[in-house]
Amino acid sequence: MLPALKLAQQISSDLAEFAEAKTPELIEPQQAAESRLSPDDELLVEYDRRILDPDLRAATRTRFVSKHYADAVEAGVKALNELVRRRTGRTEDGDELMTAVFSPKGALLRINSLRSKSDLSAQRGHMLLCQGVVGAWRNPRAHTLTDDSPARALMMLELVDDLLQITKKATRTRRPKGP
């Protein structure tokens, strides 16, 4: 994407988030403004500095700005899950999906050449990290009310950002030809 176009899209997104929205009658305008991070808020500056993946930003930034930190984490992990599905055509979910896709034995997405013991270990580690964020971060937030601190949510999103970037760079393996 051209740098100017990318910048224009980011500015448009930022303006939409911080523009005066119609406030429901039950919420005072001052309360609505207090429930969002301001554009110069230190936490939001950190988010913008650390969360680089455009798909993750699209899924989480508005939630983060509106201080829905647990929802942002859940949406971020869902973005990872959906990326894996899109890249592989698989329909499983969560742990089952990550095992089927990243297992060193028959990986559908390879993060390296899988030729050395170290390569196999890195592949297995990526699989386990992906399984872990789904099980430990997405599932609890999808089924119970969770109150994440802003700093913890940012840390979690930063790890998901890294997993997304590695997964996007992974090599898609060929499926074995049928009989």
- The residues spanned by each domain of the chain are 33-171
* Distance between CA atoms of residues 21 and 74, nearest Å: 24
| pLDDT band per the 50, 70, 90 thresholds, residue 94 | very high
* Distance between CA atoms of residues 35 and 27, nearest Å: 11
Amino acid at 9: Q
Averaged pLDDT, 129-142: 93
Closest CA to 55 of 34, 32, 82, 29: 82
Report the pLDDT value the prediction gives residue 145, as an integer from 0 to 100.
84
- In this model, does residue 176 exceed pLDDT 80? no
**Model confidence pLDDT, tens digit, residues 2-60:** 566 555 555 555 554 544 333 344 444 445 556 788 888 999 999 999 999 999 999 99
Report the pLDDT value the prediction gives residue 26, as an integer from 0 to 100.
45
Closest CA to 35 of 58, 69, 77, 73: 69
